[in-house]
Amino acid sequence: MKKFMPYVLCLLVALLLLGCSGKTEEPKEEPTAQAPEETVETNEAGNSHTTISVTDMSGREITLTEPVTRIVALTASDCEILYALGAGDALVGRGEYCDWPKEVTEVPSVQSGADTNIEQIIALNPQVLLMSTMAQTEEQIAALENAGIRVVVSDAQDIEGVYEAISLIGALMGRSTEAEALVSEMQSTFTEIQSASGDSKTVYFEVSPLEYGLWAAGSNTFMDEIAQMLHLTNIFADVSGWGEVSEEQVIQRAPDYIVTIAMYFGEGPTPEEEIASRSGWENIPAIQEGRILNLQNNELSRPGPRLAEGAQMLFDFVYGEDAV
Amino acid sequence: MKKRTEGFGPVEYALFTAVTLAVLLLCICVGSVMLPLKETVAVLWNALTGADNEAYALAANILLPVRLPRVLCVALVGACLSLCGAAMQGLLKNPLADGTTLGVSSGASLGAVLAIAFGFSLPGFPLGGTMVLAISFAFVSLLLILSLAYRLDSSLSTNTIILIGVIFSMFASSISSLVITFAGDKVKTITFWTMGSLQGSSYENALLLLGALTLFGGILLWHARELNAFAVGEDNARSIGVDVRRVKLTVLIAISVLIGVCVSVSGTIGFVGLVTPHMLRSITGPNHRRLLPAALFGGACFLLLSDLLARTLLGPRELPLGVITSFVGSLVFIYIFCKARTR
ipTM: 0.73
Q: Are residues B172 and B146 in the same domain?
A: yes
A248·B58 Cβ contact <8 A: no
B99 and B202 assigned to the same domain: yes
| β strands within chain A, DSSP E | 52-55, 61-64, 71-73, 91-94, 128-131, 150-153, 201-208, 215-217, 232-234, 242-244, 257-260, 292-294
Using a CB-CB cut-off of 8 Å, the residues of chain B touching A245 are 316-318
The answer to whether A215 faces chain B, any CB pair under 8 Å, is yes
Q: Tally the C-alpha atoms within 13 A of residue A293's C-alpha that lie toward its C-beta.
A: 24
| Residues B102 and B241 reside in one and the same domain | yes
The per-residue pLDDT for range B71-117, each reduced to its tens digit, is: 999 999 999 999 999 998 888 777 777 777 778 888 888 888 888 78
What is the bridge-based pairing of β-strands A201-208 and A257-260?
Answer: parallel
Out of B17, B39, B65, pick the residue that ends a domain.
Answer: B65
In a domain, B289, yes or no: yes
Q: Name every chain A residue with its beta carbon within 8 A of the beta carbon of B320.
A: 213, 244
Is residue B91 located within the same domain as residue B205?
A: yes
Question: Which residue range forms the structural domain that includes residue B50?
Answer: 8-65
CATH number at residue B146: 1.10.3470.10
pTM of the model: 0.77
Q: Are residues B57 and B130 in the same domain?
A: no
Same domain for B27 and B124?
A: no
B315/A248 Cβ within 8 A: no
pLDDT, position A12: 53
Rounded to a whole number, what is the distance in Å from the CA of A262 to chain B's nearest CA?
A: 9
Residues B57 and B197 occupy one common structural domain: no
Chain B residue with CA closest to A282: the answer is B61
Measured in degrees and rounded to the nearest 5, phi and psi for residue A158 equal -145, 180
Closest-CA distance of chain A to residue B198, Å:
7
Residues B123 and B91 in one domain: yes
Residue A172 CB contacts under 8 Å (≥ 6 apart), including other chains: A52, A54, A62, A64, A67, A68, A71, A128, A152
Query: What average pLDDT does chain B have?
Result: 83
- Residue B74: inside a domain: no
Question: Residue A38: its pLDDT value, please?
Answer: 33
Q: Does B9 touch chain A (CB under 8 A)?
A: no
Split into its structural domains, chain B has a count of 2
- Number of residue pairs across A and B with CB atoms under 8 Å? 103
A279 touches chain B (CB under 8 A): yes
DSSP character string of A185-222: HHHHHHHHHHHH--S-EEEEEEEE-GGG--EEE-BSSH
**DSSP assigned state of B317:** B
* B72 inside domain: no
Per-residue confidence (pLDDT) for residue A8, from 0 to 100: 54
Of the residues B41, B65, B89, which one is the last residue of a structural domain? Answer: B65
Helix orientation angle between A159-172 and A176-196, rounded to the nearest 10 degrees = 160
Backbone angles phi, psi at B313, to 5 degrees: -60, -45
Over chain B (343 residues), what is each successive 10-residue block's mean pLDDT? Answer: 62 91 91 83 84 78 88 94 90 76 82 81 66 82 84 77 86 87 67 70 88 94 91 84 86 86 82 86 87 93 92 84 82 77 68
Same domain for B299 and B184 = yes
Would residue B323 count as lying in a domain? yes
CA distance A120 to A151: 15
Q: Are residues B37 and B87 in the same domain?
A: no
A134 touches chain B (CB under 8 A): no
DSSP string, B80-136: HHHHHHHHHHHHTT-TT-SHHHHTHHHHHHHHHHHHHHTT--BTTBTTHHHHHHHHH
Please tell me whether residues B86 and B41 are part of one structural domain. Answer: no
Question: CB–CB of A94/A73 below 8 Å?
Answer: yes
Specify whether B59 is located in the same domain as B92. no
A265 vs B119: CB contact, 8 Å cut-off? yes
Q: Going residue by residue through chain A (324 aa), what tens digit of pLDDT does each one get?
A: 445 555 555 555 555 544 444 433 333 333 333 333 333 333 444 444 578 888 888 888 888 888 899 999 988 899 999 999 998 889 999 988 888 888 888 888 888 777 788 888 888 989 999 888 766 777 888 888 888 888 898 888 889 999 999 999 999 999 999 999 999 999 999 999 888 887 788 999 998 887 777 889 999 999 999 999 889 999 999 998 888 888 889 999 999 999 998 877 666 678 888 898 888 898 899 999 889 999 888 888 888 889 998 999 999 988 876 554
